Amino acid sequence: MRFAKLGAMHPSEPSVYRAPAWLPGGHLQTIYTSLFIGVPPVAYRRERLELADGDFLDFDWADGAAGSPVVVLFHGLEGSADSPYARDLMTHARARGWHGVVAHFRGCSGEDNRLPRAYFAGDSADIERILRHVKSQHPDAPVYTVGVSLGGNALLKWLGEQGEAARGLVERAAGVSAPLDLTAAGHALDRGFNRRVYTARFLLTLKAKALRKAARFPGVLDADAIAAATTFREFDTLFTALLHGFRDAEDYWFKVSSKPWLKSITVPTLVINARNDPFLPAWTLPTPDEVASAVTLEQPASGGHVAFPSGPFPGNLGWLPRRLMQHFSGHG
C-alpha cells in the first residue's frame, strides 16, 4: 500500500488511523496518551552485551516460541523497555508467540554507560551492533524492527545507508513518529508551548545524565553551561554534538536526519507520521517521490507524537501495535 492510495482502501488493505472524537488535537493526543492510558507491565529477561570499546548495551527480552520471528524495538529519546509503546508492542508480539526485544541505547536501561559518548539520533554503528547481535541469537528466524521517534530516525538512516546489505539482517522495518528532518523538529521543540512542556521535560533527565558525565570525565564538558541550557539547540551543541563529532546542534541535526536516506531503503519499510505531531511540522514530511519503492508512507491527519489513541473514553493504544504486527506479517 502506497501513500497515494490512502483515500481508496480495499477491505484487505490496512485501515487508516483515525483519532477518537473525544480526543482532538496533536497536543491533547500526545499528552493524554503519555499520562493517562495505562499499559500492563511486561516480565522481561535482561541481557547485557559487552562491547569491544569497553561499554555495554542492555537488551530486555520478551521471549516467544522457539524458531518464531523476532521483533526488535529501538526506543525514543529517554525511552526504555518500560515506555508504554514498548510494553504494548512486546505484549502483542508475545501474544502471537513471537520473540520481542527492546534494545536500549547507551545509558537508557537504568544504568549510566561507561564512556563519555552517549546515544544520538544518527547512531548507525549501534543500530548495526544491536541488529547483528539479535540475528546471531536467532540466525534462522525472521527479524522485524521498529524505531520510535529518535530511534526511528536512527533506524531509517541506517536502513538507507546500508541499502541492500540491510536485508541480511532485517526482513521488514518500520519508523513511528520519527523526526525525519531533525532541523525542523529541533526548531519546533524550542519554541512556545513545545519548549515549555516537551523540551523542559526531556531536558530534566538529559541534563542530569550529562552532568553525571561531566563529573566523571573532568574537562570534557561545560557543566555550568549544560545546567543552564533551556533549549535542545543549546543542549545538543554543548553535549550531543560535542561528544559525537559534530560542530554544533545545527551540524548534528543536518547530518543525521533520515529524510534524505529514505530513497535508498530496500527493506520493506512502513513510515508512520501523524500530520498533527507537535514535534515535526507536517510540511517537512516526505512525499511519495522522495522515498524508495520499498517505503510505505502513512501520514494520518491526527495521532500526535507516538500516541495514536483509539476507542471510547478512556481509550487504548491498540491501533499502533496492531498496525505494526500487520506490516511485519506482510499485510501492508
- Residues annotated as catalytic are 149, 277, 305
Q: What share of the chain is helix, strand, coil (3-state, %, to 5)?
A: 40, 15, 45
SS3 232: helix
Determine phi and psi for 57, rounding to 5 degrees: -125, 135
**Residue 209 carries which side chain, given as an amino acid letter?**
K
- Nearest residue to 77 (alpha-carbon basis) of 228, 221, 186, 193: 186
- The CA distance from 316 to 313, in Å, is 8
- Nearest residue to 195 (alpha-carbon basis) of 279, 267, 276: 279
* DSSP codes, 69-101: -EEEEE--TT--TTSHHHHHHHHHHHHTT-EEE
- The CA distance from 279 to 188, in Å, is 6
Q: Are 248 and 152 in contact (CB under 8 A)?
A: no
Cis check: omega of the bond before 260, within 30 degrees of 0:
no
Give the bridge partners for 101, in sequence order: 61, 72
SS3 57: strand
Strands 295-298 and 269-272: parallel
